[in-house]
Structure 1
Amino acid sequence: MTEGDLESRLLALRASLQATTAEAHSLAEAAA
Structure 2
Amino acid sequence: SKEALEEALQGSAVALPEQLDQLDELLTSKAE
TM-score calculated relative to the size of structure 1: 0.58
Stretches of structure 1 that go unaligned for 5 or more consecutive residues are none
Stretches of structure 2 that go unaligned for 5 or more consecutive residues are 1-5
How many residues are aligned here?
26
RMSD between aligned residues: 1.6
TM-score calculated relative to the size of structure 2: 0.58
